[in-house]
Every structure is written in structure tokens, then in C-alpha cells.
């Protein structure tokens, strides 16, 4: 027969910073920075632990002794599918907490291929040391998760748990495979969790704490800092967005100011730019009009000027398309020539105006 169903092992609930956790159990995964590791612990991942299981009979029979108890093969995984594993004497870990009980769980330490193995560890709580020995008889022939390595009931207050591997023996060496720690907190909410000092230098945070995602935990101590960290992250994001917005506004204003200045410069340049002289559509006459050096004398003693008075000004022999400097030079030359013309007119006016002697037809004059 084939059976399909769902078996619930345990439930983990992630709580908020101000959630009431009185009477609950907190779970701290092996990848949490709250557990400090010393020695050569290795992180083991991707477990696939196979084992035989059976469903309870209906009506329920103690120990499933009824012959029709359905059995099936299943796959087990540790919490978060990772453990810290070591078989080396002297390797240890430390955990600081505030509560009334504590327990250490993991994957069972030995192989099912042989019974010839033994693992010994010590667990020290506030200076009170307990020795623990693990053999094949404790595994019931399977390698499975949620194996209890240690548990203790404590008085209320802050405590320090230090676990150390004493020795591992056997043809196939067993390993301490630590998966998670649980404890009963003695504070009302994660926000009220006490702050603990940094452990001694011989202990270091899990080398994989930043690489392996932390699993959700029931009132886990790491969630206490989670609220503070989350608030800091949100505040940092808001601050970053604000800085970007301010930078964008400043840049926009600078661009507008620069564009206005550029437009003002171009407008002023258009106002002061010289307009070029354009040549007339009909070229000027290039006939030279000059004054007679010996103009004829009028009978009245006046001065007769060749051509009309309007033609006395010298003609300009070049077009109006010249630069403004050339125009100024021609104007000065014109003024000089006009001054010379006035001087000549004045000089002619000072000549005597007596009439020439009259001629007669009376014949030759005698000597």
C-alpha cells in the first residue's frame, strides 16, 4: 500500500521586536553570530538523511505495536540544512543568553555501519561542568536530526554556556554535529533582551554566519537586534534617497542658472555685434571732379569755378562695403581737401579786380 500525508515535526515562528514571548522557547541556528566557535569546526550542508518511519494507527496504539502499522521511508534535514561539525579534541563553542533553561541539538554523531565508536564532550554553564558521553546505543540505529547533545534547567538570569569536545574514538570517528540551541527566555519581549559582552578572543563568530542565510527562529535572540538593524537599514535607505533628491535638485538649479547665463551672453552678443556696410545697388560715378588750377577771370573780377558747386567735393573711389576704420580715414581726408578748397577760394578773392586796358582801331602807335 502507498500512503501520502504530511508529518509535522516542529514549527518555528518569527516574532517582532515587541512581541510577548513569555513561556515560549527561543531557537538560535548554528549559523547565528550569537554562537561563537573556536577551533576547526566545519560547516556541513546539503544533508539527506534517510530513515524508516511509521504512521500511528487508528485507534491509537501505544508504541505502534499493532501489526497493521503503516511504515515508510522518509528523508530528514537538519534545521536550515546545515551544521557545525568537528571530531577534534579541544574544539569548542560558546553561547551567552538570559533564560531559565537551555538545550543543544544536532545530527546524531556516529555512523550506523558500526557500533564501535564513542564521543565525549563537556558542557560548562557559569563554571558548573557536566560531562556527556555518546555511543551507538543512543542513536537507535539511525542518523537523524534533533539529536539532543545537552539540556539543563537554570535559575533566572544571564548565563554562559561553553561546550568542548574531549575526545572521539572508533574505527569510524564520530563527530559532534551541532545544529541549533534552544532556551527559555526570562525577558518579556525581544526588545528587552539583555546586551552581552563580546566573548574572549579565543572564540570567533561563525565563519559562515554572513554566507549562510539564517533560518527563522522562535523568539530567537538574533531577532532582538533584527528590529534595530531593520530600523537602521530603513533609516539609511531614506537618508540615501533624500541625499539623491537634494543632489538632483541642486544639479537642476545649476543647469537652469547656467542656461540663463548662456542665454544672457548670447543676447548681449547679438546687441553689440557690428552691422556690416552694404554696397549700394548702383555704383557711384567714378568721374573725378577737380578744380581748375587757372580758372578764367570774370569780367566782374569774380572767380568762375568749373562745374557746379555741388561737384566740388572729391569723389570717393571705393565702395561702401569697407570697414568702419577706412570710412573714418576717408572722412578725415575729405575734411582736409575741403579746407584746402576754402583756402583757394579765399586766395582768389584777394586778387585786384581792375579791368584790362581797352583796345582801339586808331592804327599803329608811333614810337
pLDDT tens column, 137-159: 888 777 889 999 999 999 999 99
Range of lowest pLDDT (14-18, 124-128, 169-173, 293-297): 293-297
Write 51-54 long-range contacts (CB < 8 A, 24+): 51/76, 51/142, 51/143, 51/144, 52/142, 53/7
Give the HSE-up count for residue 316: Cα atoms under 13 Å, Cβ half-sphere. Answer: 17
Domains observed in the chain: 26-41+81-222 (2.60.120.260), 289-350 (no CATH)
Residue 194 C-beta-side C-alpha neighbours within 13 Å = 15
Whole-angstrom CA distances from 198 to 96, 174, 203, 215, 225 are: 9, 31, 9, 23, 15
List the end-to-end C-alpha distance of the chain, in Å, as a whole number: 185
**How does residue 247 score in pLDDT terms, banded at 50, 70 and 90?**
confident
- The structure's pTM equals 0.54
- The pLDDT tens digits for 98-116 are 999 999 999 999 888 888 8
Q: What is the mean pLDDT of the chain?
A: 74
**Which of 219, 95, 99 has the alpha carbon at shortest distance from 155?**
99
Q: The C-alpha cell of 294 is what?
A: 587757372
User: For 108, phi and psi rounded to 5 degrees?
Assistant: -55, 140
Q: What is the pLDDT of residue 266?
A: 75
pLDDT at 349 over 70: no
- Mean pLDDT computed over 295-303: 41
Confidence check: pLDDT of 76 > 90: no
pLDDT tens per residue across span 183-240:
999 999 999 999 988 766 566 554 443 333 333 344 444 444 444 444 455 556 676 7
Amino acid at each position: 500500500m502507498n500512503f501520502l500525508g504530511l508529518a509535522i515535526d516542529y514549527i518555528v515562528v518569527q516574532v517582532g521586536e515587541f512581541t510577548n514571548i513569555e513561556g515560549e522557547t527561543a531557537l538560535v541556528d548554528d549559523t547565528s553570530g550569537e554562537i561563537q566557535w573556536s577551533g576547526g569546526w566545519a560547516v556541513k550542508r546539503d544533508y539527506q538523511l534517510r530513515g524508516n518511519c511509521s504512521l500511528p494507527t487508528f485507534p491509537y496504539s501505544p508504541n505502534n505495536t499493532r501489526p497493521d502499522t503503516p511504515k515508510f521511508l522518509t528523508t530528514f534535514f537538519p534545521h536550515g540544512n546545515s551544521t557545525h561539525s568537528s571530531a577534534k579534541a579541544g574544539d569548542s563553542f560558546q553561547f551567552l543568553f538570559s533564560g531559565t533553561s537551555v538545550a543543544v541539538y544536532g545530527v546524531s554523531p556516529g555512523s550506523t555501519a558500526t557500533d564501535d565508536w564513542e564521543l565525549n564532550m563537556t558542557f560548562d554553564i557559569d563554571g558548573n561542568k557536566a560531562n556527556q558521553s555518546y555511543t551507538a546505543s543512543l542513536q537507535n540505529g539511525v542518523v537523524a536530526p534533533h539529536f539532543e547533545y545537552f539540556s539543563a534547567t537554570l535559575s533566572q538570569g544571564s548565563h554562559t554556556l561553553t561546550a568542548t569536545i574531549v575526545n572521539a574514538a572508533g574505527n569510524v570517528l564520530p563527530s559532534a554535529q551541532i545544529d541549533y540551541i534552544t532556551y527559555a527566555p526570562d525577558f518579556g519581549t525581544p526588545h528587552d533582551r539583555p546586551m552581552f559582552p563580546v566573548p574572549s578572543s579565543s572564540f570567533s563568530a561563525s565563519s559562515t554566519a554572513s554566507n549562510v542565510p539564517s533560518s527563522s527562529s522562535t523568539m530567537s535572540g538574533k531577532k532582538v537586534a533584527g528590529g534595530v538593524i531593520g530600523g537602521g537599514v530603513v533609516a539609511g535607505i531614506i537618508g540615501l534617497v533624500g541625499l539623491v533628491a537634494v543632489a538632483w535638485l541642486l544639479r537642476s538649479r545649476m543647469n537652469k542658472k547656467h542656461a540663463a547665463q548662456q542665454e544672457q551672453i548670447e543676447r548681449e552678443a547679438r546687441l553689440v555685434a557690428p552691422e556690416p556696410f552694404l554696397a549700394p545697388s548702383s555704383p557711384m560715378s567714378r568721374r573725378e571732379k577737380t578744380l581748375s588750377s587757372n580758372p578764367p577771370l570774370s569780367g566782374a573780377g569774380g572767380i568762375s569755378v568749373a562745374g557746379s558747386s555741388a561737384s566740388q567735393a572729391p569723389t570717393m573711389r571705393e565702395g561702401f562695403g569697407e570697414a568702419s576704420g577706412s570710412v573714418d580715414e576717408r572722412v578725415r581726408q575729405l575734411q582736409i581737401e575741403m579746407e584746402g578748397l576754402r583756402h583757394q577760394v579765399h586766395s582768389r578773392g584777394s586778387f585786384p579786380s581792375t579791368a584790362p586796358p581797352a583796345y582801339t582801331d586808331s592804327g599803329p602807335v608811333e614810337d
